[in-house]
Amino acid sequence: MATPTPGLTTTVEDGVAILTLNRPEVRNAFDDALIAALTAAYETAIADPAAVAILLRANGPVFCSGGDLNWMRRMAAYSREENLADAERLGALMRTIDLSPKPTLVRIHGSAFAGATGLIACNDIAVAVPEAEFAVTEVRIGLIPAVISPYLVRAMGARQARRYFLTAERFSAATALELGLVHEVVPAEALDAAIARHLKALKAASPASLGATKALVAAVDRPLDDAVIADTARRIADQRASADGREGVTAFLEKRKPNWGAA
């Protein structure tokens, strides 16, 4: 039975916890309420003995457009301390997905921008359609992709991350595949079958072995630690509170070009 929460629907079907972003009217943009709901949903799925794996998907034509405009308006008026707490909550969501002992999958049926690319990079298996587009857009509004950066750099490599973080350019699903952000690109009509194929393989494995294997990969890859996570939250809080951060977000919300360097 599906359980609705603000902007999110959760259900467990045939051993899979399915989390569905359900804000199509705002292109599934996330805000503080959705971040909290997602974090709680992942924690519940991780603790649920009926769930072998966790699948993130979305309703509507867009997978996720990044941050919600109303949330960004509130952030523009936040103090540095409020920005820090807000960023730490997003960081906690990313860390929860990344450290899940259960396999995590993401079904990308449409475009994903800004923080949504971080959500994708946190997951173990990412499958997208050819029409999907991606972009890490923070610099265009005077911010930096701080909280999502450890996961994107790990997925794409530092060299490619430099380019796409700095230019904020859009890139295709084919490019995302080459970069390592997604694992597979399939036609829309084959998307559910591809997800089902991965889930079948996961269900054939020992649940304990799956968790142990994820821990093994993290151990040999020298995982992120609390200091890195805290540092990324501090960096985005500083940037949001900076002159360029406030000017960039304000200009974006007012649909005008930013006046960089303005006092």
What is the maximal distance between C-alpha atoms in the chain? 60
Give dist(CA 65, CA 7) in Å, integer.
Answer: 14
Give dist(CA 58, CA 215) in Å, integer.
Answer: 28
The active-site residue out of 81, 131, 133, 138 is 138
Give dist(CA 77, CA 32) in Å, integer.
Answer: 15
247 given a catalytic annotation? no
Say if residues 148 and 168 touch (Cβ distance below 8 Å): no
Give dist(CA 68, CA 48) in Å, integer.
Answer: 30
How far apart, in Å, do the first and last CA atoms of the chain sit? 53
Q: What does the block give as tokens for 191?
A: 């998307």
By residue count, the chain amounts to 263
Give dist(CA 245, CA 237) in Å, integer.
Answer: 10
Which residues are the active-site residues? 138
